[in-house]
């Protein structure tokens, strides 16, 4: 027995194990359909149909080549090689392809269109909300700038008033000095008192 006579049936049984796991995984995912969008559920159903088709073909042809290799009774090969049996995987292929096309036409495309419309609607609503928020922020910024300018104007006005008052006081200082004479200062009074006995 050659290596290839062993590899062919072994490859089919590895495929059976892998596709069996894929189908099991997809069927478990369908139980959580409440958590998924309709497009994702449709995709999982399509993948599950294809996984089932591939698993069935792998079992069919795996049994065929395994019995041909002598690991199963040759009667299985003789049964599966008959024309009425060979047509079963082919019919399953046709049914799976037709089902997938129907699912795509009646579930996938309408669901995708609904999801796109919902997304566009959500984007439109968010855009309006953002524009309103931006307008409010612009108004707040304008009000704050206006309040800041008012405060600066008040502050400048107060500072100017203080300066004017200070200037007026300084300007009136010589007049005050002339009106109020200090006792003895400037006329020799204080210096005379200090010099005297």
Question: pLDDT of 71-84, one tens digit each?
Answer: 889 998 899 889 89
Q: What is the pLDDT of residue 191?
A: 46
Q: Give the whole-angstrom CA distance, residue 186 versus residue 166.
A: 26
Q: Evaluate whether residue 89 is within a structural domain.
A: yes
In a domain, 49, yes or no: yes
| Structure tokens that stand for 107 in this block | 């579930």
Average pLDDT along the chain = 82
As a whole number, mean pLDDT of residues 93-106 equals 92
In this prediction, residue 87 has a pLDDT band, given cuts at 50, 70 and 90, of very high
Residues 6 or more apart from 28 whose CB is under 8 A from it?
none
**Is residue 25 included in any domain, yes or no?**
yes
What average pLDDT does this structure show over 70-97?
91
Mean pLDDT across 102-119: 85
Helix (H, G, I), strand (E, B) or coil at 79: helix
Which residues span the domain enclosing 21?
A: 3-120
In a domain, residue 21? The reply is yes
Confidence of residue 8 (pLDDT cuts 50, 70, 90): confident
Asked if the model's pLDDT at residue 39 lies above 90, the reply is no
Does residue 164 fall inside a structural domain?
no
Find the helix packing angle between 3-31 and 38-69, rounded to 10°: 160
Whole-number pLDDT of residue 170:
61
pLDDT of the residue at 172: 63
Mean pLDDT throughout 118-128?
Answer: 91
Task: Please give the model's pTM, rounded to 2 decimal places.
Answer: 0.58
Residue 18 belongs to some domain of the structure: yes
Q: Is residue 154 a part of any domain in this protein? A: no
In a domain, 168, yes or no: no
Q: What average pLDDT does the segment 102-114 reach?
A: 85
At how many degrees (to 10) do helices 38-69 and 83-103 cross? 170
Q: Which two tokens stand for residue 49?
A: 């149909």
68 vs 189, residue with greater confidence = 68
Count of the separate structural domains present in the chain: 1
| DSSP label at residue 35 | G
Q: What is the pLDDT of residues 184-194, one digit of tens each?
A: 555 554 444 44
In angstroms, the CA 120 to CA 125 distance is 9
């Amino acid at each position: 027995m050659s290596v290839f006579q062993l590899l062919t049936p072994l490859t089919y049984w590895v495929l059976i194990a892998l596709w069996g796991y894929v189908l099991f995984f997809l069927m478990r995912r369908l139980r959580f359909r409440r958590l998924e969008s309709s497009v994702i559920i449709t995709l999982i159903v399509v993948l599950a149909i294809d996984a089932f088709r591939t698993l069935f073909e792998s079992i069919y042809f795996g049994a065929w080549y395994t019995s041909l290799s002598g690991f199963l009774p040759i009667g299985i090969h003789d049964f599966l090689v008959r024309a009425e049996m060979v047509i079963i995987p082919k019919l399953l292929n046709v049914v799976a392809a037709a089902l997938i096309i129907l699912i795509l036409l009646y579930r996938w495309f309408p669901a995708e269109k609904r999801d796109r419309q919902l997304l566009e609607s959500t984007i439109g609503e968010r855009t309006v909300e953002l524009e309103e928020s931006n307008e409010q922020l612009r108004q707040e910024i304008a009000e704050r700038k206006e309040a800041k300018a008012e405060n600066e104007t008040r502050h400048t006005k107060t500072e100017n008033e203080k300066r004017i008052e200070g200037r007026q006081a300084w300007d009136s200082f010589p007049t005050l000095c002339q009106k109020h004479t200090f006792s003895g200062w400037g006329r020799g009074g204080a210096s005379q008192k200090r010099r005297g006995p």
